[in-house]
Amino acid sequence: MKILVIGAVAAGLKAASKARRCGPSAEITVIERGRLISYGACGLPYYVGAEVNSLEELMKTPAGMLRDPEYFRDVKNINVMTRTLATGIDRKTKRVSARNLDSGEESVIPYDKLVIATGASPIKPSLPGIGLQNIFSLWHPDDAKAIRKGMESGKFKNAVVIGAGLVGMEMMSALKTWGANVTMIEMKGHVFPAFLDAEMAGLVDKYVRENDIKLRTGETVLKFSGDTAVTAVETDKGTIPADLVILALGVRPNAELAASAGLEIGPTGAIAVSPLLQTSDPDIFAGGDCVENINIVTGRKVFAPMGSTANKHGRIIGENLFGSSSRFRGILNTVIVKVLDLNVGKTGITEIEAKELDYDYMSVTTAGFDKPHYMEGAKLITIKLIAEAKSRKILGLQAIGEGDVAKRIDIAASVLTLGGTINDLFDIDLAYAPPYSSPIDSVAVAANALMNKLDGRLKGISSIEARELMKDENVLFLDVRSPGEYAKTGFADCNNIRNIPLGELRKRCKELNRDDHIVAVCKVGLRGFEAACILEGENFSNVKVMEGGIFSWPFECKT
């Protein structure tokens, strides 16, 4: 069998390698328009930030072998042709036209089965000055090499990152390690607009600003200034000096080759594929950043390019080229990113999406330590959990903090994949020992809180709802932390607030009016819930709890 693969980064070479294991005698050819192959693009920001010493490390196997064409020829008997552009697909004759980008030589390559893994390209806006030097989209090792060289030489001092998504935040963190003066511009109202709700994103906004990053949200870039190299970024709100600009505006699928061959393109603009990762032509498969996926939660088609997904696609395609029926189940839009020392993750859908899709849902926000507070290195994290109200099926989870967020995201992603409920999230027999987690893990605490909320035992409100209530003089905020905690930090804009420590509340509840609207507040929300239970037992009729406590307050605090 003749197998031809177009694209030699993640999905393409994974498919070719799996195909070789499934078909030892197959003739496998891979063509790639670039000169570099099989590189870990997701590691590029970490090379820029000097956490990875050399670009070659992103192109090596765990055993240290360079994944170059010679490696694939000698180890896997796969012919990899670099600097070769696929220019057309003739589905009737099963031939692909190609051109060598160095010599200009044209060729025609026959196939029995074809794999399209053409990836995606970074979005580059058509703005005045976009062609100036030192404006980069971090999508290729050459970009990373040029940026790091400039940082090492001290050439780049004023950096502007446009787009506060995954790549934008990773690049901000990388540039900050070099001591650069970094400004971030985000057109939407908060960071990570694609996968965080406003109150959770607010925690990241607050953290970034507190760490000397100039964050400008709700701002639109109009043009770039300079003679040959960029010197400034012009926005609708002013001029920002810049000798380095990073474009982190997302990517578009490279679906033009497939479209010109008459293959079906999905509603997202990416190549439509079946669960077997076949295109509309059964002899042509496609995977990686050029295809669309099914969201497991909603069942909708989405464009969600991720290196992890691309590698899964490649493995499945490699098996199915030889008649297997392996199916790709879909994605959850699970993401995780490190923002300086803050960990940010999400799986499933957000509350914004739940509203847009008319789910009957409920959410809760909790905060707590990632392991027992008495253990060295214990750190706080905030979790937001969303579930369907009637079925109690989990819809999504967001987690933020300097503690271990990845574990909690992965637990939730597992339950989501299996269609589980908040009860399942609590029931899972998770590994426990004090160095790793609390007896009831953070995700189980969030599940319990949401159960309490659904059953009417917890009358919780979000930080955003609480901030709105602060405008009402008839609402009393009852802070039940210790006097020392209360004196150390608190709300910046709350006039009607009173401090009664939790241990004194039963004795002093007569100081409060039973008809008042009271919002109980503490550090992470647990003492606030205890306070609400005490007051309700004393016949207070309107008591709420601010979920997540002061730790999860995304707005300014007084200290």
Distance CA 308, CA 320 (A): 19
Phi-psi region of 213 (alpha: psi -120 to 50; beta: other; left: phi over 0): beta
The strand order across the sheet containing 158-162 reads: 135-136, 244-247, 158-162, 181-186, 214-217
Give me the amino acid identity at 558.
K
Q: Where are the alpha helices (DSSP H) in 178-306?
A: 198-210, 256-260
Q: What does residue 326 show for φ and ψ, rounded to 5 degrees?
A: -65, 140
Structure-derived torsion over alpha carbons of residues 147, 152, 155, 156, reported in degrees to the nearest 10? 50
Three-state secondary-structure class, residue 415: helix
Distance CA 57, CA 34 (A): 18
Q: Which residues contact 333 (CB under 8 A, 6 or more apart)?
A: 195, 295, 302, 304, 346, 347, 348, 349
Spot the catalytic one: 22, 42, 533, 557. Answer: 42
Q: What does residue 288 show for φ and ψ, rounded to 5 degrees?
A: 90, -155
- Beta pairing, strands 251-253 & 120-122: antiparallel
Q: Where are the alpha helices (DSSP H) in 344-441?
A: 351-356, 406-417, 422-427
Strands (E) located in 254-379: 284-286, 293-294, 301-302, 335-339, 342-348, 361-369
> Please, how many CA atoms are within 13 Å of residue 527, restricted to the half-sphere of its CB?
20
Angle, helix 11-22 to helix 307-320, in steps of 10 degrees: 30
Three-state secondary-structure class, residue 417: helix
Measuring CA to CA, which residue among 458, 460, 396, 400 is closest to residue 422?
Answer: 396
The answer to whether 207 and 342 are in contact (CB under 8 A) is yes
Distance CA 340, CA 553 (A): 20
The answer to whether 387 and 425 are in contact (CB under 8 A) is no
Other C-beta atoms closer than 10 Å to the C-beta of 294 total: 16
Distance CA 409, CA 446 (A): 12
Three-state secondary-structure class, residue 371: coil
Q: Which pair of structure tokens corresponds to residue 212?
A: 């000397």
Measuring CA to CA, which residue among 124, 209, 203, 196 is closest to residue 166?
Answer: 196
Measuring CA to CA, which residue among 241, 219, 107, 203 is closest to residue 401?
Answer: 203
Q: What does residue 373 show for φ and ψ, rounded to 5 degrees?
A: -60, -25
Measuring CA to CA, which residue among 66, 68, 109, 67 is closest to residue 85?
Answer: 109
- Beta pairing, strands 135-136 & 460-461: unpaired
Is 22 noted as a catalytic residue in this protein?
Answer: no
Residues designated as active site: 42
